[in-house]
């Protein structure tokens, strides 16, 4: 993930205020910002312009794969190794539908889970530098990667106006690679 870019990190206590800040920052062109939330908030996703999730494609592909696997496993194996029992048809469709159904469900779920991880870029080792433990408790976080200068002042102003409870500049936190 982000390797601790320079920028401004604001903490908010209320969802509505966070949305305000995010909307205004997005309008100002800060598309690289990161927004942290302690619970799922669709309104915040909307404010940041995150309205699409490819997880549905994963789920669909998983479902189709599962259904085909079930069909191949049942019909294919019985045709490859025909063993008539009780005079019943070798390819017994109503019975096989059950196996196909279960495998459809199984792979839909597994694929949706993998899709969630891939697009959410998880798992990751270690946390990004902007993350603060309060973000899993009761604080919303908005981080804007913006270098020192007049641009940064504008960002801070927006955050203050929106009602941030705490604003910090994260430059000091990086490993002093330049200084070394």
Binding site for another protein (CB under 8 A): 14-16, 19, 34-45, 48, 50-51, 53, 55-56, 59, 73-74, 77-78, 81, 83, 85, 88, 92, 95-96, 98-99, 101-103, 105-106, 108-110, 112-113, 115-117, 119-128, 131, 133, 135-138
- How far apart (Å, rounded) are the C-alpha atoms in residues 116 and 157? 35
Residue closer to another protein, measured from CB, 129 or 146: 129
Residue closer to another protein, measured from CB, 8 or 55: 55
Residue closer to another protein, measured from CB, 119 or 153: 119
Enumerate residues 6+ apart whose C-beta is below 8 A from 131: 36, 141
Counts for the chain of helices (H) and strands (E), in that order: 6, 4
Shortest reach from residue 164's CB to another protein, in Å = 16
- How far apart (Å, rounded) are the C-alpha atoms in residues 148 and 153? 8
Shortest reach from residue 163's CB to another protein, in Å = 12
Residue closer to another protein, measured from CB, 77 or 173: 77
- How far apart (Å, rounded) are the C-alpha atoms in residues 48 and 34? 9
Shortest reach from residue 37's CB to another protein, in Å = 5
Shortest reach from residue 178's CB to another protein, in Å = 26
CA 137 to chain centre: 19
**Contact, 19 vs 43, CB < 8 A?**
yes
């Amino acid at each position: 993930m982000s390797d601790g870019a320079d920028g401004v990190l604001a903490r908010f206590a209320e969802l509505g205020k966070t949305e305000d800040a995010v909307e205004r920052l997005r309008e100002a062109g800060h598309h690289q910002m990161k927004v942290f939330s302690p619970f799922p908030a669709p309104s915040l996703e909307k404010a940041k312009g995150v309205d699409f999730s490819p997880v549905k494609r994963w789920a669909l592909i998983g479902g189709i794969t599962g259904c085909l696997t079930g069909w191949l496993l049942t019909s294919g194996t019985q045709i490859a190794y025909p063993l008539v029992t009780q005079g019943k048809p070798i390819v017994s469709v109503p019975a096989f539908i059950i196996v196909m159904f279960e495998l459809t469900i199984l792979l839909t779920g597994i694929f949706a889970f993998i899709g969630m991880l891939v697009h959410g870029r998880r798992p990751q080792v270690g946390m990004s530098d902007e993350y603060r433990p309060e973000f899993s408790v009761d604080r919303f976080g908005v981080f804007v990667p913006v270098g020192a200068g007049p641009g940064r002042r504008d960002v801070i102003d927006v955050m203050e106006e929106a009602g941030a409870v705490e604003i910090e500049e994260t430059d000091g936190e990086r490993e002093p690679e330049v200084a070394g």
